[in-house]
Amino acid sequence: MKKQFYETSIDFIYNKPSQENINWLKANAKPMPIDQNFRIKSLHSYKDIKLKGVLNLMYTRTALVIKLNQILEHLPHNFSFLIFDAFRTIETQFDLFRYIYEQQKDLHPALSHEELFAITKEFIVHPAEKSLYEIPPHNSGGALDLTLALDGQALNMGTDFDCVSECSQTIWFEQDYIQGAGYTKDEWFAIRKNRRLLFNAMKRAGFVNYTAEWWHYDLGDCHWAKTLDLDWYYPSLESELLE
């Protein structure tokens, strides 16, 4: 199965889930700490940088934990998942938007507030803006930021998690090798294989990818529903966890 994932190009054509699949997602909607398996490790990236509103445990919905375990059954035993982020409070969503905005301001001091705001929105939903998503994907508990590891070491995916760069686009390394882009030819093709492995493993399990971020995958949230032209998606998970 791993070889098949490597050899299949990344494409964003997904099969719609059946009503039975949707009913299964509904039936497995309870919140659950994500690291229920020694092959799934939460890195708690936003707790480390002290963003506001971050919980002590990393949660997602039960359905997503089950799916991750199913994916691992099809990979060799020395592969594992590293989880950067899962459920995210609205407070954390606001603070992360501010954090990325300030990063961009440091990188592009000549840009206006409007230009910086627009760049930031390419990488994170502003929770006050309802025109794109009624519920920010991470707030629903249906979004995961993750990567694969081999023998405990994260695979080379070409950029760091949360890197605001065109190289973070999931299909970036599907194009022909670009000399002078900062990668050797061997690195380029290794990154392509690694991204294909992650993408195709997640896609096979029913996830969809946010195309600007190789690390972001959705199942049952509003981005998943919009991508698949579905009416149903998970509500916010916040009230269940913080009540």
Q: Helix H segments across 182-232? A: 185-204, 222-228
Buried b (16+ CB within 10 A) or exposed e, 66-88: ebbeebbeebeeebbbbbbbbbb
Maximum C-alpha span of the chain: 53
- Which DSSP symbol is given to 160? -
| Token output for 39 | 């092959």
| Token output for 68 | 């991750």
Considering 213, 238, 240, 243, which one is annotated as catalytic? 213
Has 44 been labeled as part of a binding site? no
- Which DSSP symbol is given to 218? E
- Which DSSP symbol is given to 155? P
CA 237 to each of CA 143, 177, 211: distance values in angstroms, whole numbers, following the listed order: 11, 42, 24
Has 145 been labeled as part of a binding site? yes
Active-site residue 213, yes or no? Answer: yes
Say how far apart CA 213 and CA 137 lie, in whole Å.
Answer: 14
Strand partners, 61: 31
Phi, psi of 79 (to 5 degrees): -95, 145
Has 216 been labeled as part of a binding site? yes
Say how far apart CA 183 and CA 158 lie, in whole Å.
Answer: 8
Residues classed as catalytic: 213
Annotated binding site for Zn(2+): 138, 145, 216
